[in-house]
Each structure stands twice: as structure tokens, then as C-alpha cells.
Amino acid sequence: MSNTPLSHMGTESTRARAVRRSLALTALLATTALACSPASDKDEAGHSTSPSPATTSSTALGETSADARIEQVNETMRKTPFSAIGTTTAFDEGQQEIRWNPSQGLHIKLVGTGGDMYCKDGVTYMSADLLAKNLQSKGVQITVPDRLDDTYVTTESGQGCDAYFAVPPGTFAPDKDTEIEGVPAQAVAAASGSTSDVYYISEEDPARLLKMESTRDGRKSRTTYTDFGKETSIVLPKAGQVMPLEEFREEVNAG
């Protein structure tokens, strides 16, 4: 039997729950799946898998490889304003509206579910209500005090905001090639673990991402990208509405 006093055991249990909750918050904010948390063709050790024979032969024949075309697409998308609309694997229902302005940042609005997320210069801003719902979908319950209703929780991702819509390394899937709004589209397949994505990229220039279909842990989503070059104004939350993750955690624990 443990010699730890009961009072200490209770304290340790509370601390353990707080630590688990803090880690869950950090993980969700750092790798939120609201947008396009991309799949990867890397194995568990982090090494890129070998290209398929079809990709290799295409490259040998002088055609653009999948990796080269993906980089062209990502470069265009980083520099081009666009909008997108679709569903999300983060929740069972509701839609997400995405707007990207390279000079002002990224805005993702959840319609139906409710909540907003922004990203600018590698900093993610997630509304407290959306964070609570996202945590709930992962089995972690938190109660957001009324005083924090209009709060946006921030975290630094360590990467550019284009990470939310960038096409990851993948291979061409010619059997899935199609047309999106009359534009010939090449399919690129990328998979990792329980995640399986198909990205439809323009076959001809300008190189663009036209559509994404995703499956994550059995949940499916579909996003269509439009309004290329059409700038919209994105206004980040005001300074008084912003709270770093650690401070938010302490406020939630305080009740």
C-alpha cells in the first residue's frame, strides 16, 4: 500500500488532470485539424518513402514529377489570395469557410458549429468556444468562464500559416484525375496512418490547389478552393481579446 498521505494523493490527481488538459490544449492548438493538417508520405522514422514506379518512369520521360508539381502549387498558393469552403474532419457536422490574404493572414470560420481561427506570421488565434468544442470532440471537457467568451487563445506553430493548406508530398493518382469547374485536375494521393487525402491540383498553369478530399480516423471532409487573386480583408482579434495558451489554462483552472 502506498505511504503517500491521502491529501497529497488528491493534490497529485488534480495536478495530473491539469497537466493532461494542458498537454491536450497544446497539442490541439499546435496541430489543429480545422483546416488541412496535411498528410505525409513519410514513414514513422520521418524518412520519405520511395516514389512509386509510375512517378519514377514519368520523371525519366521528362514529365513533371509529383513533388515538383506540388512545390509549384504550394508556391502559387502561398502568394495568391483565395477563398475555400467545405466540411471538416474535426467535427461531425457544419462547414468551414477559409480566406487567405498573404499580407494579412488566414481566417477560418466554422459555420453551424460556431467559432473562428486566425493565423498570422506563424501565430494561431483560436476562439475560446471553438477550442472548447475541439477539445470536447477529443474527449477532453473544459468549462470556459463567461469572462473569457470573447477570448482568442494564441500559440506559436513554428511554421508559416500556409501549413494549413499546403499540399504534402504525395504521388500522382491518374485513376482519380478529373475536372473541377471545367479545369483539368491531376489527383495527388497522400496517406499517413489513419489519414488518407486526395488533392486535386490544376494540370495546367497557373498551378493551384482546386479541391481536397480527406479521411481522418473514419471522418470524411471535402474542401473546394475558389476566388483566386480576389483579396478580402482579414482583421485579427484585438489585443484585448488575445490570451496566450498558458494564461488561458490558468484562467480556466481558476474557474
Q: What is the pLDDT along the chain (255 residues), one digit of tens a residue?
A: 333 332 233 333 444 354 345 545 444 444 443 444 444 433 332 333 333 333 333 433 345 799 999 999 999 999 999 999 999 887 777 789 999 999 999 999 998 888 999 999 999 999 999 988 888 877 888 888 899 989 999 999 788 999 999 999 999 999 999 999 999 999 999 998 888 999 999 999 999 999 999 998 888 999 999 999 999 999 999 999 999 998 998 888 776
Residue 198, beta-bridge partner list: 189, 213
With contact defined as beta carbons under 8 Å apart, do 33 and 89 qualify?
yes
With contact defined as beta carbons under 8 Å apart, do 63 and 246 qualify?
no
d(CA 208, CA 94) in angstroms, rounded, equals 26
Query: Would you say the pTM of this structure is higher than 0.85?
Result: no
Q: What is the pLDDT of residues 105-127, one digit of tens each?
A: 999 999 888 899 999 999 999 99
Q: What is the pLDDT of residues 46-98, one digit of tens each?
A: 333 333 333 333 433 345 799 999 999 999 999 999 999 999 887 777 789 99
3 state DSSP class of 17 = helix
Residue corresponding to grid cell 504521388: 171
Cα distances (angstroms) measured from residue 184 to each of 126, 145, 164, 187:
36, 50, 24, 10
